[in-house]
Amino acid sequence: MSMFRIFDVSGSAVSAQSQRLNTVASNLANADTVAGPDGKAYKARQVVFQTVLMGNAGSPDGAAGVRVSTVTEDQSAGRRIHDPKHPSADAEGYVTYSNVNTVEEMVNMISASRSYQNNIEVMNTARSLLLKTLQMGQG
Amino acid sequence: MIQRLTGSLVFQTEALVLRAERQRLIASNIANADTPGYVSRDFNFASALRDATSGRNAGSGDAARPRRAPELRYATPSQTNLDGNTVDMDRERAAFADNAVKYESTLRFINGSVRTMLDAMKSHNQG
């Protein structure tokens, strides 16, 4: 029964989106982190999605799930703010903050939560259709 | 005689299987809405159903014959995306809802024919 595969497909998408939400949360939490003694501040992380074909090996049956293939780190330079009184200021009086862009992360969060909701709805619909299929012929 | 009774049932069964197939395909598209490079896919339900029911005598009972998978087509994007993803969420959501309703109506048609058959089998004094 091919409908059962929907739970695998949407389940993989929900788990990938929740991982995306997780990275957004950690980015937002570290938005104001300053560089430690090593001079390296927190780098924003992004997940990269990839399609996985599901079904029997050799003959994928059209079902395509998602997985997080890698988590990349944004290598751009962090914000540098002149604040000589800050304990983490360097010799020139600059403090290096993380390179998290809060606005981008908020947009990412909204997009992830919408996709999450979409997939949950797909699963709910598939579940109710399958339950009705179970009652086939009973009147 | 029984073939005439089950003929419509066989047709509806084919339709139901194809509906389930399409439901899964649209679920895959929705799941990959954020995957870079993913190309949205769908199939033409009418021609797939014609394909599945032609070469087969309705009710001949050869349900074990291997089924040919419907031909998948790629969607043309209405608004192009920089990451190469062609899933149009509005279209997919609409297709998903439409397919769910039609799946359920096919189920009801099947239930209706089963009930008709059961009624026909009852003898006149059973009420």
Domain spans of chain B? Answer: 2-126
Interface test with B, best of A19, A107, A118 (most B CBs within 10 A): A118
**Beta-strand relationship, A80-82 and A94-96:** antiparallel
Q: What average pLDDT does the segment A122-132 reach?
A: 94
Could you tell me if residue A139 is inside a domain? no
Chain A hits for B114, CB-CB cut-off 8 Å, are 136-137
CB nearest to B24's CB, from A62, A133, A139: A62
Location of structure tokens 């599945």: B52
- Do B32 and A51 count as a contact with CB atoms less than 8 A apart? yes
Instruction: For residue A34, list its beta bridge partners.
Output: A97
Split into its structural domains, chain A has a count of 1
Say how far apart CA A11 and CA A137 lie, in whole Å: 30
Alpha-carbon span A74 to A108, nearest angstrom:
15
Comparing B23-32, B53-62, B99-108, which segment has the lowest mean pLDDT?
Answer: B53-62
In a domain, A110, yes or no: yes
Domain that holds residue A92: 2-134
How far from each other are the two terminal CA atoms of chain B, in whole angstroms?
24
Using the Cα atoms of residue A94, residue A100, residue A102 and residue A103 in order, give the sign of their dihedral.
Answer: positive
Residue of B5, B6, B22, B24 to mutate, testing the A interface (most A Cβ within 10 Å of its Cβ): B24
Of the two residues B102 and B61, the one the predictor is more confident about is B102
Highest mean pLDDT among A125-134, B49-58, B116-125: A125-134
**Does residue A118 belong to any structural domain of this protein?**
yes
What residues contact A135, with CB distance under 8 A and at least 6 apart?
none
Window from B4-8, B53-57, B85-89 with minimum mean pLDDT: B53-57
Is pLDDT at A55 greater than 60 in this prediction? Answer: yes
